[in-house]
A and B are shown apart, each in its own frame.
Chain A
Amino acid sequence: MKRQWINWPAQVAALTRFAFWSLPRRKGSVAVTVVGIAGVVAVFVGTFSIAEGFRQVLQKSGAPDRAVVMRSGADTELTSFLRREETRIIADAPGVRRRRGRPLCSAELFVIVNLPKRKTGMDVTVPLRGVHSEAFWVHQGVRLVAGRRFVPGRNEIIVGRGALAVCRGLELGSQVKLGRVRWRVVGVFEADGGVEESEIWTDARLLQSVYQRGTTYQSVQVQLESAEAFDRFQAALERDPRLNVKVLRQTDYYADQSRVVTRLVTGLGGLIAGLMALGAMFGAVNTMYAAVAARRRELATLRALGFSGGPLIVSVVIESVAIALAGGVLGGAVAYAGFDGLQTATMNWQSFSQVAFAFRVTPSILARGLACATLVGLAGGLWPAIRAARVPVAAALREL
């Protein structure tokens, strides 16, 4: 009989097939590993979906054709300070879009107030923003969904949908004490999921008076003629000897704002997921050692029949990765079902205020979760596989 002898990949395929056929006999240990890895991936995906949700909120709030102007040296609106004259110079700068002859510049005041959290009753900090009517042109996503706008000069506020969801006492028509003053909630607004939804807005002049800020503001939000107009606008302001300001593209400003929280969340979450992954990896190692031990007779027999050690190693690793991936898919599905779209709020450490956001389980995060599972499977399967292939066939058959 003339025979052609098959190559490595075909041996790997055959050995892998046998491994899968024997899985039902090992369903207990396999299930434990699948669930362990599912837990790792669920934590991993959950953590990154928090960071992603937070990042998306701040990203949605920015546009490349909008700019934020603050006092030079200030990192956030909270630490910034601008006089009224300065805001007027800014409004007259080149590159600012105009509407019916008026510059689309919104000088804004930004203070932090305490309100009880709806779920726990504990005080959380919420941004209270003082704005003029131009703000509704510059913050283009802001739309009233209930009630009306505040009337300048009256103790009236409108609240973002996120702030309403997170805090008690902000329901439409209710009165709430902020600082020393009672305010009536006259409207609820949304902002396409942007950071403004976590804020409360009121009349800037009234807020200056209540908080004794004179005629000062903290930032100017500017609608530019185009994204390309930014450089011209920035150069004009930074050259102007009457001003001492920094000019940021809004997208850069919010990217910077999200950095601390996303790093904190991904760092801590990564650490937790990493520790869990280590545990799951040992689980996978155990499972694969048990699998190899349970199949010792089979593997020795297959090697006696002519299957090589190399394909055996690869097949055990493939089995381990497949088990890990099953855990990964389960964990990803659980995380998606449980977390995606889940509304919550966290502190933005740069503005010291709550930002409402939803967990976002994206395909990229799920892919990273599966990659994490694959790594656990690879690391968990490799040593048992090598050990299985290194046992001399004669010795393995003798021990049966």
Chain B
Amino acid sequence: MASDPIVRLVGVSKRYHRGAETVRVLEDLDLEIDRGEFVALMGPSGSGKSTLLNLIGGLDRPSKGAAVVAGRRLDRLSDRELARWRARHIGFVFQMYNLLPALSAERNVELPLLLTGLDRAQRRRRVRTALAIVGLVHRRRHRPNELSGGEQQRVGVARAIVSDPDLLLCDEPTGDLDRKSGDEILALLEELNRRFGKTIVMVTHDPHASARAHRTVYLYKGQIVDRIPA
């Protein structure tokens, strides 16, 4: 029996109001992503990729339509419920890593676990496992400014997977890295998908990165299209 898709967006629109002007970012969009899929979101700047990722990750709500992710109607949750839901189901990987500069790598990775009832020893074990997966156990005591960009992003990935979320949302995870470091991160994401069955949605501008995904969803002017017009 096929399982329900982990992401199901039905007739989703997103509009922003800028003074009297209404900006239509996403327009009547339908999308399904199955568990275990590795999906790349591509499109030109302003096409709505990041907005779509935010809707899937519960960082934003649709203006219209239904967003069902990991079994919950996100458009019906309060801010507090959304925060709790995010902590439970979503792992974020940001383009600029978004690590807390005052914390060591292991403390950064530990952050999502502070929202769980795990005791310190359990948290330590999980942090070590996550850092081992990204190959950074030996750099665990270093602060972000003592790590290279690639290493910082690997810490970001470790933080995203440490609480064992259902869905990894990556917003241009290689956008700030050189090709070699970017390839290492892509290889890591691939491994997480293949070996641990993580569902991954990755926003990217880079065809080289999207080639690693099972499927690429193209966005153009707020709508899903078969290919980006030339």
Nearest CB in chain B to that of A398: its residue: B50
Q: A21-B103, A394-B59 are in contact. Are A304 and B117 (CB under 8 A)?
A: no
Closest CB in chain B relative to A100 CB, distance in Å:
80
- Chain B positions within 8 Å of A282 at CB level: none
State A5–B85 Cα separation when bound (angstroms): 10
Q: A4 contacts B117, CB within 8 Å?
A: yes
Binds A, one of B27-35, B88-96, B130-138: B88-96
- Chain B positions within 8 Å of A400 at CB level: 96, 98
Binds B, one of A124-132, A253-261, A305-313: A305-313
State A5–B89 Cα separation when bound (angstroms): 12
The verdict on A14 contacting chain B, using a C-beta distance below 8 Å, is: yes
**Which residues from 77 to 110 on chain B have a C-beta closer than 8 Å to any C-beta of chain A?**
79-80, 83-84, 86-88, 92, 94, 96, 98, 100-103
* Chain A window 1-13, contacts with chain B (Cβ cutoff 8 Å), 1 for yes, 0 for no: 1011110001100
The verdict on A244 contacting chain B, using a C-beta distance below 8 Å, is: no
State A216–B159 Cα separation when bound (angstroms): 92
Q: B100 contacts A304, CB within 8 Å?
A: no
Q: A306 contacts B101, CB within 8 Å?
A: no
Q: B80 contacts A6, CB within 8 Å?
A: no
Number of A-B contacts (CB under 8 A): 91
The verdict on A84 contacting chain B, using a C-beta distance below 8 Å, is: no
State A14–B111 Cα separation when bound (angstroms): 9
* Chain A window 341-383, contacts with chain B (Cβ cutoff 8 Å), 1 for yes, 0 for no: 0000000000000000000000000000000000000000000
Q: B115 contacts A304, CB within 8 Å?
A: no
State A306–B103 Cα separation when bound (angstroms): 18
State A398–B25 Cα separation when bound (angstroms): 14
Q: A307 contacts B115, CB within 8 Å?
A: yes
Q: B98 contacts A5, CB within 8 Å?
A: no
The secondary-structure label for the interface of chain A is helix
Closest CB in chain A relative to B77 CB, distance in Å:
12
- Chain B positions within 8 Å of A184 at CB level: none
Q: How many residues of B contact A (CB 8 A)?
A: 31
The verdict on A214 contacting chain B, using a C-beta distance below 8 Å, is: no
The verdict on A392 contacting chain B, using a C-beta distance below 8 Å, is: yes
The verdict on B114 contacting chain A, using a C-beta distance below 8 Å, is: yes
The verdict on A175 contacting chain B, using a C-beta distance below 8 Å, is: no
The verdict on B48 contacting chain A, using a C-beta distance below 8 Å, is: no
Q: B59 contacts A306, CB within 8 Å?
A: no
Q: A304 contacts B116, CB within 8 Å?
A: no
Q: A5 contacts B83, CB within 8 Å?
A: no
The verdict on B57 contacting chain A, using a C-beta distance below 8 Å, is: yes
- Chain B positions within 8 Å of A25 at CB level: 101-102
Closest CB in chain A relative to B107 CB, distance in Å:
9
Q: A5 contacts B59, CB within 8 Å?
A: no
- Chain B positions within 8 Å of A300 at CB level: 98
Q: A5 contacts B84, CB within 8 Å?
A: yes
- Which listed residue, B83, B100, B112, touches A298 by the CB 8 Å rule? B100
- Which listed residue, B79, B87, B101, B118, touches A305 by the CB 8 Å rule? B87
13 A-B pairs whose Cβ atoms sit less than 8 Å apart in the complex = A4-B117, A5-B84, A6-B114, A6-B115, A18-B103, A21-B102, A21-B103, A302-B111, A304-B59, A305-B87, A307-B87, A309-B83, A394-B54
